């Protein structure tokens, strides 16, 4: 491709929106339509609907076509993530019809694939590239209606009636108004609120949503209130069973702006001239005509084309870049959560493949494995924690990626997410059929219910959630010094004898003295000895407990004890919760937690040395911090909690750092030179 040769487009899916896009390509300055990928290439009328384009048999064939530079994804919503990821893997640039994905988590996986492939990926909100949008933003910035106070945005239409097979009503097509047209209203509100604040877009700090869910479980009409920092309030609404006026209204202290039929610039899928009405506080009205006669879809074609030709992976503003698309989808996620809208295709029963649409693979070697004393099978050198996820569709993305990289060690707890973390892991293990290959860490007896008789009751509930008859490693999540330690050992030993714990057990946030007492008690009574610990351990020493009852094990005394006992420690907050990132610094005191828990001159010295070593290794300081935990002279297994695929992949960069005892000593105290 060069600036003088057109970008060769292919289209996945030959529906009506694909025909509109084809018209935009024909009217563009940068593109040429080459081929259409169709599941039914013999369908009558395809050649007439897409004149001059080859009809290709299937989406895979289109992605394999060497004569295609970029693809427009026009398949139903549930296929967007799968085919965008596969297109990136095939080296194709992608313009994906809105919504970019079903959730922000899916979109992040798509961006991750494009980032790795070096390809363009953009969300096809064509209104954002129409000149009317830029003119509107200019008016807001000019102050013609004063300070913006409220935005009212609607996009609603009425289908002829309930049509269960139509994609807009079909649950398995992720139908309904929020995903189909609600994104228009939300993305516009974020754009306007951003323009008012001098930003490309703004994020709401409050989202309150409601909707009517119809016969098939999709939203047929819905509304939401968005509150932005600074006081701007947006009322947004959408519908597939209700006609709305579809007028964008922006209310300011000196007047208001109204834009009729904004989403098509006052026109249709071919031409929208663009009209903006500015109404003063005194009722005076000025109509501004953009008078744009080009095909409405040609602007997004050229916006994508210009980015591709310039080597950019995202749209230029006012097109939606990746952060903008993620922000809009996060609002839609919150809106859907507020109304209880989770599609059946997002649940475990139907989501049996990975985000790329493929079965889970188990041959990954990026994450190595090690033997843990008392554990019957090797466990990955890092354990995955995943408290942040609240749906199967979101959590399974990270679980799949961790497992495919070679990870098989999963950290859960009875209280995590009110029990949902265990439920999610159980669904995933059953759905993917990998329970026997996996190692489950379970925790119970968290304060205030830290008593021996609670252990069995909570473990029974955990096993039910996890859909298994045993866990591999078990920790009491807190200690209760008022209870004789032998009672806790006896309670855990009973679960071992019952077969419900089939590996080591021990304490999380237990002191050295209580562990010694517990081990001594077990040796006297012939019960199983506590064989593992889960305390904080990091290159940076925790100065004060992050939460009540927490115990850190990073001191010299602790390291000597762990080494002499060869006690496995499953270390939480192993990277100092941001202390080794740019969030921290001697002059950065905006995080109360960082300052209170980690700020000391000794820790900053360690941080300085981590930065120095990272520069030599071409890594980041957090990689060095994680490698410090991994390379201890006792079994040390860090618990990591990435929220995205990018964070997971970044964490794994620490696994190839080998640190000698001299390196560890130098990082810790600076007394020796690193090798």
pLDDT in tens, 426-447: 999 999 999 999 999 999 999 9
CATH code of the domain made up of 127-293+314-344: 3.30.360.10
Residue range 610-653, pLDDT digits in tens: 999 999 999 999 999 999 999 999 999 999 999 999 999 999 99
**Closest C-alpha among 111, 31, 28 to residue 11:** 31
Cα 667 to Cα 448: distance, rounded to the nearest angstrom = 38
pLDDT attached to residue 3: 65
Cα 341 to Cα 525: distance, rounded to the nearest angstrom = 54
DSSP-based three-state secondary structure for 306: helix
The arithmetic mean of pLDDT across residues 570-582, rounded, is: 92
Within 10 Å of residue 159's Cβ, how many Cβ atoms?
14
Label residue 549 by pLDDT band (50, 70, 90).
confident
DSSP-based three-state secondary structure for 278: strand
Q: How many alpha carbons lie under 13 Å from residue 480 in its C-beta half-sphere?
A: 20
Per-chain mean pLDDT for the chain: 95
User: How is the chain split among helix, strand and coil, in percent rounded to 5?
Assistant: 40, 20, 40
The arithmetic mean of pLDDT across residues 495-505, rounded, is: 98
DSSP-based three-state secondary structure for 638: strand
Q: Are 479 and 510 in contact (CB under 8 A)?
A: yes
**DSSP per residue over 39-94, as a string?**
SSTT-TTHHHHSTT-EEEESHHHHHH-TT-SEEEE-S-GGGHHHHHHHHHHTT-EE
Residue 675, pLDDT above cutoff 80: no
The arithmetic mean of pLDDT across residues 593-603, rounded, is: 94
Residue 673, pLDDT above cutoff 80: no
Cα 41 to Cα 52: distance, rounded to the nearest angstrom = 15
Domain 127-293+314-344 identical in fold to domain 347-533: no
**DSSP per residue over 410-427, as a string?**
EE--TTGGGGHHHHHHHH
Label residue 186 by pLDDT band (50, 70, 90).
very high
pLDDT attached to residue 272: 83
pLDDT attached to residue 559: 95
Phi, psi of 56 (to 5 degrees): -100, 140
Residue range 45-63, pLDDT digits in tens: 898 999 999 999 999 999 9
Residue range 514-532, pLDDT digits in tens: 999 999 999 999 999 999 9
The arithmetic mean of pLDDT across residues 458-474, rounded, is: 98
Label residue 674 by pLDDT band (50, 70, 90).
very low
Maximum Cα interatomic distance, the chain, rounded to a whole number of Å: 92
**Closest C-alpha among 537, 673, 674, 556 to residue 619:** 674
The arithmetic mean of pLDDT across residues 23-31, rounded, is: 96
Q: Where are the domains of the chain?
A: 5-124, 127-293+314-344, 347-533, 574-667
- The single residue listed with the structure tokens 């919760």 is 577
Cβ-based neighbours of 284, under 8 Å, separated by 6 or more: none
pLDDT attached to residue 672: 53
pLDDT attached to residue 563: 97
The arithmetic mean of pLDDT across residues 104-125, rounded, is: 98
Alpha helices in 541-655 (DSSP H): 556-565, 592-598, 601-617, 621-630, 645-652
Strand order in the sheet with 121-124: 54-57, 31-38, 7-12, 70-73, 93-97, 121-124
List the single range of 48-62, 565-579, 632-646, 660-674 with lowest mean pLDDT. Answer: 660-674
Q: Which CATH class name applies to 347-533? A: alpha beta
More confident residue, 47 or 466: 466
How many percent of the chain have pLDDT more than 90? Answer: 91
Cβ-based neighbours of 484, under 8 Å, separated by 6 or more: none
Residue range 248-269, pLDDT digits in tens: 999 999 999 999 988 888 888 8
Residue range 188-235, pLDDT digits in tens: 999 999 999 999 999 999 999 999 999 999 999 999 999 999 999 999
Phi, psi of 191 (to 5 degrees): -65, -45
Pairing outcome for strands 569-571 and 54-57: unpaired
pLDDT attached to residue 671: 64
What's the fold here for domain 5-124?
Answer: Rossmann fold (3.40.50)
DSSP-based three-state secondary structure for 332: helix
Residue 341, pLDDT above cutoff 80: yes
DSSP state of 344: G
């Amino acid at each position: 491709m060069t600036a003088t040769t057109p970008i060769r487009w292919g289209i996945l899916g030959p529906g009506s929106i694909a025909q509109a896009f084809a018209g935009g390509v024909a009217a563009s300055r940068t593109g040429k339509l080459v081929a259409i990928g169709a599941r039914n290439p013999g369908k009558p009328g395809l050649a007439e609907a897409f004149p001059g384009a080859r009809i290709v048999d299937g989406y895979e064939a289109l992605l394999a076509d060497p004569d295609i530079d970029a693809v427009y994804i026009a398949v139903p919503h549930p296929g967007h993530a799968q085919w965008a990821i596969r297109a990136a893997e095939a080296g194709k640039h992608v313009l994906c019809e809105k919504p970019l994905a079903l959730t922000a988590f899916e979109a992040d996986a798509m961006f991750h694939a494009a980032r790795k492939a070096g390809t363009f990926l953009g969300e096809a909100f064509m209104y954002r590239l129409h000149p009317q949008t830029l003119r509107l933003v200019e008016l807001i910035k000019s102050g013609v209606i004063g300070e913006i106070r409220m935005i009212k945005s609607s996009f609603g239409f009425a289908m002829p009636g309930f049509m269960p097979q139509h994609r807009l009503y079909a649950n398995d097509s992720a139908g309904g108004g929020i995903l189909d047209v609600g994104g228009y209203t939300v993305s516009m509100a974020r754009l306007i609120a951003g323009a008012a604040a001098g930003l490309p877009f703004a994020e709401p700090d409050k989202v309150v949503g409601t909707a009517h869910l119809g016969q098939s479980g999709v939203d047929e009409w819905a509304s939401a209130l968005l509150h932005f920092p600074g006081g701007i309030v947006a009322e947004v609404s959408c519908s597939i069973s209700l006609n709305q006026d579809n007028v964008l209204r922006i209310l300011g202290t000196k007047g208001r702006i109204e834009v009729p039929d904004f989403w098509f610039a006052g026109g249709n899928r071919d031409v929208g001239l663009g009209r903006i009405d500015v109404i003063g506080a005194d009722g005076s009205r000025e109509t501004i005509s953009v008078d744009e006669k080009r095909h409405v879809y040609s602007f997004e074609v050229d916006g994508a084309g210009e980015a591709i030709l310039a080597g950019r992976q995202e749209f230029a503003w006012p097109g939606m870049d990746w952060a903008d698309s993620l922000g809009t989808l996060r609002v839609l996620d919150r809106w859907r959560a507020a109304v209880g809208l989770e599609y059946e295709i997002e649940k475990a029963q139907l989501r049996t493949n990975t985000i790329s649409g493929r079965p889970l693979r188990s041959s990954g070697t990026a994450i190595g494995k090690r033997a843990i004393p008392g554990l019957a099978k090797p466990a990955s050198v890092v354990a995955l924690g995943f408290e942040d996820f609240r749906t199967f569709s979101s959590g399974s993305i990270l679980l799949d990626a961790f497992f495919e990289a070679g990870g098989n060690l999963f950290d859960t707890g009875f209280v995590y997410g009110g029990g949902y973390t265990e439920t999610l892991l159980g669904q995933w293990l059953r759905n993917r059929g990998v329970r026997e290959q996996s190692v489950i860490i379970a925790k119970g007896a968290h304060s205030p219910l830290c008593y021996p008789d609670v252990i069995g009751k909570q473990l029974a509930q955990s096993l039910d959630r996890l859909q298994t008859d045993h866990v591999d490693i078990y920790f009491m999540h807190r200690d209760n010094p008022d209870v004789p330690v032998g009672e806790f050992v006896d309670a855990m030993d009973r679960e071992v004898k019952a077969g419900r714990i089939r590996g080591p057990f021990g304490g999380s946030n237990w002191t050295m003295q209580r562990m010694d007492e517990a081990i001594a008690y077990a040796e006297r009574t012939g019960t199983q000895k506590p064989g593992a610990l889960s305390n904080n351990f990091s290159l940076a020493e925790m100065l004060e407990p992050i939460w009540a009852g927490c115990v850190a094990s990073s001191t010299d005394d602790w390291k000597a004890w762990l080494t002499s006992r060869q006690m496995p420690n499953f270390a939480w907050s192993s990277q100092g919760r941001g202390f080794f990132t740019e969030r921290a610094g001697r002059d950065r005191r905006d995080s109360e937690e960082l300052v209170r828990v980690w700020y000391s001159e000794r820790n900053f010295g360690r941080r300085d040395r981590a930065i120095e070593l990272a520069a030599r290794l071409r890594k980041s300081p957090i990689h060095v911090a994680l490698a410090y935990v991994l390379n201890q002279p006792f079994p040390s297994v860090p618990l990591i909690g990435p929220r995205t695929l990018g964070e997971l992949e970044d964490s794994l960069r620490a696994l190839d750092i080998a640190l000698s005892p001299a390196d560890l000593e130098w990082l810790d105290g600076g007394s020796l030179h690193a090798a």
